[in-house]
Amino acid sequence: MATTAYGNVINLQPGGPGVAATSNRILMGCRDLASRRLREVSRTMLEQAIEALHKRADALNGKGNFRLMLDLANALREKGSRLEAQLSAHWAQEFDGALKGVEEPAPKKLSLDDLQIVDVGEMDEELALKSLARRLEDKCADELYALGRRINFLIDHDSPADAPNPLSPDVFTRSLLGALRDVEFEIQSRIELYRCLEGLVVAQVGPVFHAINAQLLKHDILPNLKRGYGRSPSQNSSKETSKEEASGDIFNMLQRLVSGGVAAPSGAAALPGVPGIPGAGVGGGQSVPVAQVWASLEAMQHAVQNFAVGQPVATENTNVLHNFRASEVGQGLGQLDAITVDIVAMLFDMIFDDREIADPIKALVGKLQIPILKVAMLDRAFFSSKAHPTRRLLDLISRTALRWGKDVGHDDPIYLKIAEIVDQIHGNFQQDTDLFTKLSDDFEQFLAEYEATTAGDLSRAASLVAQREREELAGLAVERELRPLLSMPQPGVVAALLEREWRLLLKQIYLAEGLDSEAWQGAMETAAALVDSTRAKRDPQERQALACQLPVLLKQLIAGFDRIKTDGERRHRVLDELFSVHAKALRGTEMSAAEPVAEMLEEQEAVVAEPEVTTQVLGDGEVTVESLTLSQELPDVEAAQEVEDLQRGDWVEFIQPDGEAIRYRLSWVSPQRGIFLFTNPHSPQALAVSPEAMSVQLQRGEVRILSTEPIFDRALARTIEVLQAA
C-alpha cells in the first residue's frame, strides 16, 4: 500500500481492528453523512411508497389485501417521521458494528428437542430483505465496489474479501428491519413495504452511496480508482482465471463449430526450434515448417502500411487473414492452427461489419489482425479469459471509442494515444504478451490524467445541477404544503398573496433553512391563519378573537414581505384589500370567494395530454449546462428500466432535430432526485436530464443508450451465433 498520512494507529474497540486516527475521523464523518442523507431521502421514499400503496389498493378494488394496503399507507403517513429517525439511527449503529467487525453469533447446533416448525412469515421476510439487498447490489455495483476499496484502504486491509463494508446493502436492510420493528410495524406490513420499496430504493439510496464516495474523494482517498473505463466486470468476480477459462473452453466450442462438430486434437507441445509456440502440427497434417509459418506472420505484420501518429488512418478495412489462409503457407497449416486462423478471421469480419464502431476505429483495430492472430496461436485462453492482457487492451480501446460517433477527430488526444498504442504493437510485438499489459496500464493512466483535466468543469457543472435540483425540490415542497390551502374558497387577494408572495417566501426559507426550521413552521402557520381570518365571524367571541389576532397577523405578513423584498406599491395594495376583507369578516359578511387556485391548476394539468421535455440553460460564466425536465410533474411517467440501469461511465446518444447524433457520457448522478449529468469531451456544454424526461425521450427515439459490450466480446458472440446457425 502506498505511503499515506494515516499512520497513527488506534483501536475503535479494545482488541478490535487497528484504524489510523485520521482514517477514524474520516470514517465517522462518512457515517454521520450517511445517516443524515438517509434521513433526507427516507422522506421522499416513504411519500412515494404511500402513493404506490394507494395505487395498489385502487387496483385491488376492495378485494384481497385492499385493507392491508390502505392501513399500511396510513401507518406510514402517521409514523413516517419516527421511522425516518429510527432508520437513520439504526444505520449509524449498524455502521459502527460492521466497522468494528461485530459478527452475528454462529448458529448453535440443534438437537431434535430444539426443532420447531419454521415461521413462514419470517422466511418470507428474509427473502424479501435479500431481494431488496440484491437489487441495491446489482444496480449500485460500481458505487459499492468503490466504497469497499476505499474503506479497505482506510482500515488498512489487504484485500476487499477480508474487510467489512459498513455501507453494504445488507447494512441498509438490517437497519430498515430494526427501524420497522421499533416503530411497531407487523411482519405482514413489513413484507409488503419491502416489496413496495424494491422499485424505489435504488433511486433514493443509491445516491447516498454516491455522496459517500464523493466525501471520500474530498479526502483524497484513492482518487484515481477506476473500475474500468465505463462499466467493466469486477476483477474478483466470475473467476476469470479459473481452470475453465485457462483451458480454453470457448476455443474448443468454436473449434467444434468450425470443424463441423468434430473436435481436432488439441495438443499443446512446444514446436521444435520456436520456444513458447504451441505445437500446431499435432494431429493436423502440418506440411509447412512452423518456423516458416512464424516468419511469414512476422513479415505480414511489418508489411502492413505504416502510418504516422497524428495522421488519419486509411479506413479501408481489408481482412488480411483470409489472404494469409489462402496462401501456400496458410494452406500448409496444421488443423488446429488452421482453425485458429479461420476463427480470428471471422472475428475481424464481424468487427468490420459492426455498425456501432466508427470506421477510423475499425481501421486502427484492423491493423492488429496479425498480432492478435499470433496471440491466439500462442495462448488459446485468449478466447475465454476477459482478463487476458490482449483482451484487456481491446476492451479499453472499445470502451474509449464509445465517445465518438461516426466522426472521429483525428487530432483528438485519445485517438492519437490509441494510434500510438497500435504503432507500438506493430513495431515491438513478437511473442511476449507482457507488452499488452504494459500498454494497458499506460493507457489507463493516460485516461485518468486526461479525465483529471476536466474534473474542475465537471465539479462546477454538478454544483449548478445540484443547486437547480434543490430549487426544484423547494418548489415541490412548497406546492405540496400550499395546495390544501389554495383548494379552499377564499378572496382573490388572499389566493394571489399565497400564490405569489408566500410561495416565494416559502421557497427561500426551504433553501436557506429547510422544512424543519422555525421559519418554515411560522410561515405556514401565518398562511393558514390568513385563510381562516377571511371567514365571516358571526359569533361575538370569534370576532373578538379575530380582532386580537389581526395585529399579530399583520406583523407576520409584513415580516414576510420584508424578507422577500416586496415593493412598496404592491405591499400597500395587498394590505389595503386585506383591510376591507377583514372588516367584512368582523361584520359577519360573507365574501365572494375566488375560484380555488388548486382547482384551476388541476384543470390546466388535465388539458396537457402529452408530457413535454422543456429546456433551461444553467451557467456560472465558466460552464454551461442544458437542463432537460418534463414540463409538469406527471405521476404516471416512470423511469424506464434502461434508464434505471444507467451508471456513471455509460454513454448515451442524443438525436438532434436535424438528425445529427451527439454522444454524451454519464459523469455524475445527483444525490437527491437522481438527475443525470452528461458531459461531452468535445463540447463545453453539459446536459442535465431527469430520469423521467430521459424515459420520454427514449420512448420517442430521441435518445439511444449505447451498448458497453466490448468490440471483441460482440464479435465473439456474433461469430458463435453465425456458426451455430450454420
pLDDT digits (tens, 9 = 90+) for 40-69: 888 888 888 888 888 887 777 766 677 888
Output the pLDDT for position 599. Answer: 42
Q: Which of 161, 192, 218 is the last residue of a domain?
A: 218
Closest C-alpha among 237, 241, 236 to residue 391? 241
Of the two residues 619 and 487, the one the predictor is more confident about is 487
Closest C-alpha among 136, 177, 166 to residue 33? 166
Q: What percent of the chain has pLDDT over 70?
A: 77
Output the pLDDT for position 31. Answer: 84
Of the two residues 662 and 317, the one the predictor is more confident about is 662
Q: What's the DSSP call for residue 490?
A: B
- What is the crossing angle of helices 187-197 and 120-139, to 10°? 20
Q: Cα–Cα–Cα angle for 709, 711, 713, nearest 5°?
A: 65
Region 450-468: mean pLDDT is 77
Specify whether 79 is located in the same domain as 208. Answer: yes
Output the pLDDT for position 435. Answer: 93
Band the pLDDT of 523: cuts 50, 70, 90. Answer: very high
The answer to whether residue 427 is domain-embedded is yes
**How far apart are the C-alpha atoms of 709 and 157, rounded to whole Å?**
32
Specify whether 98 is located in the same domain as 158. Answer: yes
The answer to whether residue 522 is domain-embedded is yes
Specify whether 52 is located in the same domain as 194. Answer: yes
The answer to whether residue 52 is domain-embedded is yes
The answer to whether residue 495 is domain-embedded is yes
The answer to whether residue 402 is domain-embedded is yes
Output the pLDDT for position 145. Answer: 83
Region 688-713: mean pLDDT is 83
Closest C-alpha among 35, 8, 34, 36 to residue 22? 8
Extract the C-alpha cell encoding 82: 419516527
Specify whether 500 is located in the same domain as 442. Answer: no
Is residue 235 within 8 A of residue 387, CB to CB? The reply is: yes
Specify whether 306 is located in the same domain as 197. Answer: no
The answer to whether residue 277 is domain-embedded is no
Region 682-704: mean pLDDT is 83
Which stretch of 25-29, 88-92, 154-158, 640-644 has the lowest confidence by average pLDDT? Answer: 154-158
Which stretch of 9-23, 165-179, 183-197 has the lowest confidence by average pLDDT? Answer: 9-23
The pLDDT tens digits for 5-54 are 333 222 333 333 444 567 778 888 888 888 888 888 888 888 888 888 88
**Count of helix runs (H) and strand runs (E) in the chain:** 28, 11
**How far apart are the C-alpha atoms of 193 and 175, rounded to whole Å?**
14
Structure-derived torsion over alpha carbons of residues 416, 417, 419, 424, reported in degrees to the nearest 10? 140
Is residue 332 within 8 A of residue 276, CB to CB? The reply is: no
Output the pLDDT for position 655. Answer: 85
* Burial environment of residue 56 by CB neighbours within 10 A (0 to 12, 13 to 18, 19 or more): buried
Specify whether 448 is located in the same domain as 338. Answer: yes
Q: What's the DSSP call for residue 501?
A: I
Is pLDDT of 546 > 80? Answer: yes
Handedness of CA 695, 701, 703, 708 (dihedral sign): positive
Q: What's the DSSP call for residue 672?
A: T
**How far apart are the C-alpha atoms of 307 and 286, rounded to whole Å?**
35
Which stretch of 167-176, 426-435, 495-504, 644-653 has the lowest confidence by average pLDDT? Answer: 644-653
For 76, residues 6+ apart whose C-beta sits below 8 A from its C-beta are 46, 49, 50, 53, 83, 193
Output the pLDDT for position 1. Answer: 34
Is pLDDT of 359 > 80? Answer: yes
Is pLDDT of 361 > 90? Answer: no
Output the pLDDT for position 289. Answer: 85
Specify whether 158 is located in the same domain as 45. Answer: yes
Specify whether 179 is located in the same domain as 316. Answer: no
Output the pLDDT for position 3. Answer: 33
Q: Cα–Cα–Cα angle for 654, 660, 662, nearest 5°?
A: 40
Of the two residues 625 and 525, the one the predictor is more confident about is 525
Extract the C-alpha cell encoding 512: 436557506
Band the pLDDT of 438: cuts 50, 70, 90. Answer: very high
Is residue 196 within 8 A of residue 131, CB to CB? The reply is: no
For 523, residues 6+ apart whose C-beta sits below 8 A from its C-beta are 502, 505, 506, 509, 560
> What are the φ and ψ backbone dihedral angles of 295, each rounded to 5 degrees?
-65, -35
Of the two residues 523 and 281, the one the predictor is more confident about is 523
Output the pLDDT for position 188. Answer: 87
**How far apart are the C-alpha atoms of 194 and 408, rounded to whole Å?**
47
Of the two residues 315 and 534, the one the predictor is more confident about is 534
Extract the C-alpha cell encoding 402: 464509445
Q: What's the DSSP call for residue 633?
A: -
Specify whether 575 is located in the same domain as 642. Answer: no
Helix (H) or strand (E) holding 653: strand 651-655
Q: Which of 595, 630, 662 is the last residue of a domain?
A: 595
Handedness of CA 181, 183, 186, 189 (dihedral sign): negative
Output the pLDDT for position 726. Answer: 61
The answer to whether residue 482 is domain-embedded is no
Is residue 585 within 8 A of residue 535, CB to CB? The reply is: yes
Indicate the number of domains in the chain: 4
Output the pLDDT for position 465. Answer: 80
Region 478-493: mean pLDDT is 88
- What is the crossing angle of helices 335-353 and 359-366, to 10°? 160
Q: What percent of the chain has pLDDT over 90?
A: 10
Region 314-336: mean pLDDT is 82
Beta pairing partners, 11: 18
Region 542-561: mean pLDDT is 90
Is pLDDT of 447 > 50? Answer: yes
**How far apart are the C-alpha atoms of 434 and 429, rounded to whole Å?**
9
Specify whether 213 is located in the same domain as 86. Answer: yes
Output the pLDDT for position 611. Answer: 60
Closest C-alpha among 514, 648, 675 to residue 39? 514
Rounded to the nearest angstrom, the gap between the alpha carbon of residue 110 and the centroid of all alpha carbons in its chain is 44
Region 387-405: mean pLDDT is 85
Is pLDDT of 704 > 50? Answer: yes
Band the pLDDT of 669: cuts 50, 70, 90. Answer: confident
**How far apart are the C-alpha atoms of 34 and 92, rounded to whole Å?**
8
Specify whether 376 is located in the same domain as 445. Answer: yes
* Burial environment of residue 246 by CB neighbours within 10 A (0 to 12, 13 to 18, 19 or more): middle
Is residue 66 within 8 A of residue 57, CB to CB? The reply is: yes
Is pLDDT of 176 > 50? Answer: yes
Q: Note every long-range contact of 318-326, with CB atoms under 8 Å and residues 24 or more positions apart, other chains counting.
A: 318/366, 319/345, 319/348, 319/349, 319/352, 319/366, 319/369, 320/369, 320/370, 321/345, 321/348, 321/369, 321/370, 321/373, 324/296, 324/297, 324/300, 324/373
In the predicted model, what is the mean pLDDT of the chain? 76
Residue range(s) defining the domain that contains residue 169: 9-104+114-218
Is pLDDT of 496 > 80? Answer: yes
Output the pLDDT for position 9. Answer: 29
Output the pLDDT for position 21. Answer: 67
> Quick check: helix, strand or coil at residue 372?
helix
Specify whether 39 is located in the same domain as 81. Answer: yes
Band the pLDDT of 236: cuts 50, 70, 90. Answer: very low
Is pLDDT of 490 > 80? Answer: yes
Which stretch of 91-105, 461-475, 568-582 has the lowest confidence by average pLDDT? Answer: 91-105
Extract the C-alpha cell encoding 274: 520456436
The answer to whether residue 308 is domain-embedded is yes
Region 370-384: mean pLDDT is 88
For 578, residues 6+ apart whose C-beta sits below 8 A from its C-beta are 493, 494, 497, 557
Region 133-161: mean pLDDT is 75
Q: Which of 565, 595, 625 is the last residue of a domain?
A: 595
